[in-house]
Amino acid sequence: MVETRVGSSALLRTCRSALIGGLRAAAPQVQIDDKGYVLEATNNLIEGVRLVDFEDDLAQGDGNELPGKFRAAHSSSALAVNSFAQFKGALSDLYLPGSKDFSSLCFERKCPHGLAGRHSPNLDFFAEGPGGIVAIESKCLEPLTSHPAIFLPAYDAEIRDARRASTWFAQMQGLVEYPRTYRWLDAAQLVKHAFGLTHSFPDRATTLLYLYWEPANRANHPFFAEHRAEIDRFGASIAGAAPSFISMSYPELWQRWSGVSQPQWLQTHVARLNARYGVTI
């Protein structure tokens, strides 16, 4: 166990250094400190992404991302913004597994779960349309840190509606009993997001998409296979539940966007994303 922990810590540092290198290569004029942070949030954006397209969204979120964590080369929030912000002006070009024909999108969407006095879950990205809702939990380097499940007693005490009979609630009960069922996957966070989506949109088709970063040479590092195995095990345990659960890596999504039939702007956008984040370790 100790060797695995040390190994994941070393891999975390390696991945962080690689992402810092990706930012330096994509924007050599940007100043980056020793921890991988830029001076201003705008320094962390790829070409074509504008602050005006997401600033208000992030400002209303609970994480106070913009002046803080968003400035990191390894920020999962910046990864989501760099990937999706340009679609605000091109909704018809957005593909996401789980739905299509989106009419609106935003970042840091709050979805109240109905627990008194508790912060509402914040989804990194949220898109909706006549066909339903796709809510994204974005991950960059977070899976490289262990995530034992933690739930406040209020989740059991106050959830008394139809959610209590759901597969998601049963998943929570199992995690309370065995909080280390998953090591790299933050399963508790996903369950809390599911409770928020079901409470906020009880009559809508909803999909919770777990979207995660991987390096270009992920096959060379067993950790990424372990993470994927945990995702698959979690997905199997809540198969058929509402909201539905889908997982995909960012590189896999970008590859779907880069098809020959896609508009030129999107192919250019994907090339910029790959240049910034498609690093090897």
In the predicted structure, residue 167 carries a pLDDT above the cut 60: yes
- The residue length of the chain stands at 281
Please tell me the total count of domains within the chain: 1
Q: In what order do the strands lie in the sheet with 206-212?
A: 104-110, 122-129, 132-139, 206-212, 244-249
Averaged pLDDT, 191-207 = 96
Tokens at 168, concatenated: 């998601």
Q: Give tens-digit pLDDT for 212-250.
A: 999 999 999 999 999 999 999 999 999 999 999 999 999
The per-residue pLDDT for 3 is 35
Tokens at 148, concatenated: 């034992």
- The β-bridge relationship of strands 104-110 and 122-129 is antiparallel
In the predicted structure, residue 1 carries a pLDDT above the cut 50: no
Cα 281 from Cα 22, distance rounded (Å): 11
Q: Residue 206 in contact with residue 133, Cβ under 8 Å?
A: yes
The per-residue pLDDT for 7 is 56
Tokens at 189, concatenated: 């966070």
pTM of the model: 0.94
In the predicted structure, residue 2 carries a pLDDT above the cut 80: no
Cα 281 from Cα 279, distance rounded (Å): 7
Q: Give tens-digit pLDDT for 176-191.
A: 999 999 999 999 999 9
Averaged pLDDT, 243-258 = 96
Q: Write out the residue range of the structural domain in which residue 164 sits.
A: 2-277
